[in-house]
Amino acid sequence: NAGVTQTPKFQVLKTGQSMTLQCAQDMNHEYMSWYRQDPGMGLRLIHYSVGAGITDQGEVPNGYNVSRSTTEDFPLRLLSAAPSQTSVYFCASSYATSTDTQYFGPGTRLTVL
Amino acid sequence: AQSVTQPDIHITVSEGASLELRCNYSYGATPYLFWYVQSPGQGLQLLLKYFSGDTLVQGIKGFEAEFKRSQSSFNLRKPSVHWSDAAEYFCAVDHDRGSTLGRLYFGRGTQLTVWP
């Protein structure tokens, strides 16, 4: 099993550009989530999904969109990147709920100029 | 609002010394509680979790944590720290106690440095 994979590992964008961060898991997990990690702020939940076709907002959803068309994939879209979105992004998955062990991907380091 | 607090941003200990990392939560009911560890350049890994029952929980890598309801705390401990324990440690809570639409809220983290 590859676990949770994220692409790309690094990305530099200009303000206003759009892009999609990819996340995939091969563990047949229902629960998937996206976090951003900023220095001194810990991890903050952006969006999460409890299964294909079901998503909900976390603490900091503004500026981000998600969809869950399959169990395996949970992409995160930045519609119009802003410097405030410079961060490290982590995708995580778990069996069914947030209290099941979360398996984290390696992260994507995004810089918005 | 942030509901989990880690008062110590950075802790330095000598190898072989004992360790205690503090975590406090603020909410009416007892949430589900977790400790995760992040090694440099890596994602997070679960160390241990508490849902109910025995207030002293054992985790991986020799870590344990004690839930104290009266202090709204869930402190992480290790009797003898190894150099490989140097990492950032995150306390997390789930106030929805495992419901389908539950969410994890993380503290801001404590960076642990281990001196040889």
Quote the pLDDT of residue B100. 60
Q: Given the structure tokens 């947030």, which residue do they identify?
A: A98
Q: How far apart are CA A38 and CA A43, in angstroms?
A: 7
B108 touches chain A (CB under 8 A): yes
Backbone Cα Rg of chain B: 14
A26 touches chain B (CB under 8 A): no
Cα dist. B8→B21, B38, B64 in Å?
8, 16, 18
Range of lowest pLDDT (A62-71, B26-35, B51-60): B26-35
Residues pairing with B48 in the sheet: B35
B45-79 burial by CB neighbour count: b if 16+ within 10 A, else e?
A: bbbbbbeeeeeebebeeebbbbbeeeebbbbbebe
CB neighbour class for A103 (10 Å; exposed up to 12, middle 13-18, buried from 19): buried
The percentage of chain B sitting over the pLDDT mark of 90, rounded to a whole number, equals 72
B9 touches chain A (CB under 8 A): yes
A23: its two tokens: 């996340």
Q: Is B70 helix (H, G, I), strand (E, B) or coil?
A: helix
Q: Given the structure tokens 């979360």, which residue do they identify?
A: A102
**The pLDDT of residue A16 is above 80:** yes
A99 touches chain B (CB under 8 A): yes
CB–CB contact A90 B32 (8 Å): no
Q: Which of B33, B47, B100, B111 to mutate to test the interface with A (most CBs of A within 10 A)?
A: B100
A43 touches chain B (CB under 8 A): yes
How far A96 CA sits from the closest chain B CA (Å)? 7
What is the separation of C-alpha A113 from the centre of its chain, rounded to a whole number of angstroms?
20
Quote the pLDDT of residue A41. 86
CB–CB contact B42 A106 (8 Å): yes
How far A33 CA sits from the closest chain B CA (Å)? 9
What chain B residue is nearest to A102 in terms of C-alpha separation? B46
CB–CB contact B94 A99 (8 Å): yes
Quote the pLDDT of residue B95. 73
CB–CB contact A59 B105 (8 Å): yes
B39 touches chain A (CB under 8 A): no
Which tens digit of pLDDT belongs to each residue from B33-89? 999 999 988 889 999 999 988 999 999 999 999 999 999 999 999 999 999 999 999
Residue B3 near residue B30 (C-beta atoms within 8 A):
no
